[in-house]
A and B are shown apart, each in its own frame.
Chain A
Amino acid sequence: MPGPSPIRRLSRIEYNNTVADLLGDSTHPAQAFPDEELALGFTNNANAQTTSSLLIEKYENAAANLATAAVAKPDLLGCDAADAACVKTFITKFGQKAYRRPLASDEVDRLVAFYNTSKTSWDAATAVKLTIQAMLQSPHFLYRVEAGGAGTPGSVARLSSYELATRLSYALWGTMPDATLFAAAEAKELDTNDGVLKQAQRMIADPRAKQSVGTFFEQWLDLAKVANIEKSQQLFPQFTPQIRVLLRKEQDTFLSDVVFGGGNLNTLLLANYSFMNKDLAAYYGVTGPSGDQFEKVTLDSTKRVGVLTAGGFLASSAKVDQTSPVQRGLFVRERFLCTTPPPPPANVNTTPPAPNPDLTTRERFAQHEASPSCSGCHKLMDPIGLGFEQFDATGRWRAMEGTLAIDASGEIVSTLATNGKFNGAVELATKLAGSTDVSACVVKQWFRYAYGRSEANVDSCTLASLGTTFGQGQNSFQTLVVGLTQTDAFLYRTQEGAPK
């Protein structure tokens, strides 16, 4: 069973990419659209795509600017704007790309009639411009309309070839289909699962897949936070604004390498390498890179491995002047184990105790364990976060906390398959890499991002089959991304209105 298919509007990123491909735009007009609502960690959730007057005005404005730029290009039509037959051909061809499917003849007729009326009212060039302007505000452009065998409520139908081309292109590239995909749709190649698979395999190998995968990681792992990290300059003078930029670049470079270098979940969590330039290497105290360019460096894998020991994560999940076992533990819990502890109860002081040279962080946070009102939830987070204590608030390795010895032992509790004790971040990462909870969570996260919705009960088969695909592919990310195009949830849709 496919689960719900709520209608999806182009996200800001998708809008920009689409008008770039459709019209050669380089102004990225969606930058000016209102910020998108965050839901389950992602900004493309269909149910969170609310409409406001502000957004509608921005659509109108963007359409006017894009159409004005388009008609200024001499080669847009290839003929005189007053040549009605030629304009009809343009509308048919351009419409097919803009609506991502061939236009029905009555749709073409309506657009041509609109052009003719506008030409009479104003002039031919204006009429072409207004026609483009209208198409760019049409629901068929702004939304991914799927009629998919529009049948009785509750009936399940496979998506049309063009609808699948669109799902493929936005899932893998975050933009409209390219000529090859359109050709495959026209040739009905996407009516078979193998046809879809073939395209997905082509697309994951294309550089255009990098942005979409990068956006997934940015939102799943909250990478945007790195640009906002603030640290006490008194305590951490080496943490400069430039370091923030380098820490983010390290994460982006590493994550891209994991996916497109054929890596898997193990690589993500346990890789003994990263990417740094001279300045970042000096920051970490790693030798090797000598220039401004990022280079692959081998890490001391007794201290650092994979994405959870990246400075960007460790520093952004920490306070201005001290580490935060709560934030670090919560991050692992939410993002890798897919469980969200409830927010703190009312009327408690949620500010950590001030740093104290005579007490370790672990000792200062002991109240969370001692107080019954805190321990219920904090035992889910703190004992995981305390495993990172060998990294200071800026993500650098520390052998001691001031003059005090560090105890980096930790424990995971209340999971299906990951419970147990560990010592330090490397052991934690090893534990997570071998956990079926984590692989299932990664599948779930990618499901939410690629399908633009939260999972429903009816998706259990899709999630299970994705889990199997991921596992059989040795947890390779490319296998997972391609596998996302082979599920019931991707290939089929249920006509809305079905009894729950």
Chain B
Amino acid sequence: MKPFRLSRRTLLRGAGGILIGLPALEAMLRTSSAQAAGPTAPKRLVFFYTPNGTNAGNSEKLADETAFWPAALGPDFVLGSEVAPLEPLRKHLLIASGINAESCKADIDGHGDLHSIAMAQLLTGVATSVDAATIGLIPGANPTAYGQGISLDQYIAPKIGANTRFPTLEYGVLTTTDYGVLPLSRMIYAGPNRPVPAEQDPAAMFSRMFSDGTSGGQTSVTIAAAQRKSVLDFVMDDFARLQPSLGASDRMKLDAHLTSVRELEARIAKQVTATPVTTASCGTVQPVVDPGDPMAKENFPAIGKLQMDLLVLALKCDLTRIASLQWSWARSNLVHTWAGVTQGHHDMTHVGASDELSKVNAWYASQLAYLGQQLLATPDVDGATLLDNTLVYWCSDVSYAYTHGFDNIRAFFLGSGGGTFKTGQHVDVGGQAHQKLLVTLMNYMGVNENQFGISTYGTGPLSALLA
């Protein structure tokens, strides 16, 4: 299918042959009047997760450390074989050594799978810190707990004052484990024990991003929104009427449901109230048609590419300012055959360094490079590029997979975030808690609070990262 221009009358055929109307898209766009006034671009934050850390480290079982972490600090760092695909983007790259997931260490003894602990704390900064059998959704049900706090993206989304259609968007590539959905699958949290699932199907994500609820484009945006609102009002009233007769925990559960309905209604209202603008800033959109089965392992690279394209589009069209892309799951044993690999990822990490393991890391680095290149190729409203006004944080669960280490966790960044962050640099923060990194990201997005997660591990930002 050839690309098309977005317009009020544009229809496109989504996956499964369903007609998706795009008329409301213009309402989601930034106002053209803002452009005329000499626009400033918004700041964006993207979490880019790939599993199982790395094996570069100083032990005989591990690879030459410089395969992943450059030896030199400052601007003259040399990218090793596992991160070489990022070389074309080196002037946009910030590498931060010396960030430790200290709070994870508190959970090591008897609290279950270490990948899962790291995943639950990565963006929440909250240690589980009690016996796994007594917390979590189901006592004893999982080897470890779900996140015990809200994740940074969800926390700051309502505070950054962005009038975007989605507070955040969660993209996933085969995040369901071979055993089903476990805490290993969940990085984003709306609160303690409230995992936020990522959309794993790019066709569904496309329709979510661009559908406005009109079917076949026959109803106007205003009418469709009014009808949806009236239905949701009725539904919310149903919930409100039911609540008093319920016990405390049932009420909490339905309250979470009701809150999500209310948020959906607010999003619909935005479609109508936002100032209509031209499609100039969103440009042409390539619809997602027949992406293949997102749950089939052989489609992993293709699904991932589509999700990255959609993520870039979401930022470009200002559908959201905060997005995450989760590849696979913590402790994933995916066989990356397309990268010339024959062994399972997690299995390999426990054997030690190997060419195949390096290939997996380099493949993920090349995916990050693709995302970076796409952002770099996209002009932003201020005349700079989307990458210039974005910070992409490449994160993982454990640091050194062989030992399940928590020191020196992965912290590669692309983009300066509108000049907030140093770029073209390798810095060493000298052993600071990852809670401070989360504060840094929060401050960057304009939320000027001094602590996040468990503050005893550290407060304030990592100033070494800042320009």
Contact = CB atoms under 8 A, between A and B. Distances in A.
Interface of A: 6-7, 32, 34-40, 43, 45, 47-57, 60, 63-64, 68, 110, 114, 117-118, 121-122, 126, 130, 133-134, 137-140, 143, 145, 147, 150, 153, 222, 224-225, 228, 230, 320, 340, 342-343, 346-347, 349-351, 454, 495-497
A134 B234 contact: yes
Contact of A64 (B138, B204, B213, B343): B213
28 contacts: A7-B250, A7-B253, A32-B204, A35-B200, A38-B182, A47-B137, A47-B138, A48-B138, A50-B193, A50-B194, A50-B256, A52-B194, A52-B197, A54-B197, A56-B257, A64-B215, A122-B227, A137-B235, A138-B235, A139-B238, A140-B242, A143-B254, A147-B245, A228-B297, A346-B108, A351-B347, A496-B246, A497-B247
Nearest to B343: A320
B232 A351 contact: no
Interface in B243-294: 245-250, 253-254, 256-257, 260-261, 263-264
The DSSP consensus for interface residues of chain A is loop
A32 to B, nearest CB: 6
B195 A50 contact: yes
Given A36-B180, A56-B261, A342-B112, 13 more contacts: A7-B254, A37-B180, A50-B193, A51-B256, A54-B196, A56-B263, A134-B235, A139-B242, A225-B179, A343-B113, A350-B350, A496-B249, A496-B250
Interface in B162-210: 170, 176, 178-182, 185, 190, 193-197, 199-201, 204, 208
Interface of B: 108, 110, 112-114, 137-144, 170, 176, 178-182, 185, 190, 193-197, 199-201, 204, 208, 213, 215, 223, 226-228, 230-232, 234-235, 237-239, 242, 245-250, 253-254, 256-257, 260-261, 263-264, 297, 335, 343-344, 347, 350-351, 402-404
A139 B137 contact: no
Contacts, number: 169
Contacts of A350: 350
A138 B176 contact: no
A68 B137 contact: no
A60 B228 contact: yes
B260 A48 contact: no
A34 B260 contact: no
A33 to B, nearest CB: 9
B199 A51 contact: no
A39 B245 contact: no
B178 to A, nearest CB: 6
B180 to A, nearest CB: 3
Contacts of B403: 346-347
Given A60-B232, A133-B231, A343 B260 contact: no
A114 B234 contact: yes
A342 B108 CA distance: 13
Contacts of A145: 242
Contacts of A140: 238, 242
Contacts of B142: 38-39
A39 B185 CA distance: 13
B178 A228 contact: yes
Would you list the 8 A-B pairs with minimal beta carbon distance, nearest first? A496-B247, A38-B180, A34-B197, A56-B260, A39-B138, A7-B250, A39-B141, A351-B350
A342 B264 CA distance: 41
Nearest to B200: A35
Contacts of B201: 32
B48 to A, nearest CB: 20
Contacts of B143: 342-343
A35 B247 contact: no
B356 to A, nearest CB: 13
Contacts of A349: 350-351, 402
A351 B351 contact: yes
Contacts of A126: 227
Contacts of A52: 190, 194-197, 260
Contacts of A495: 247
Contacts of A110: 234, 237
Contacts of B200: 35
A374 B179 CA distance: 24
A320 to B, nearest CB: 7
B239 A496 contact: no
A346 B404 contact: yes
A42 to B, nearest CB: 9
A6 B264 CA distance: 26
A7 B242 CA distance: 12
A343 B253 contact: no
B24 to A, nearest CB: 15
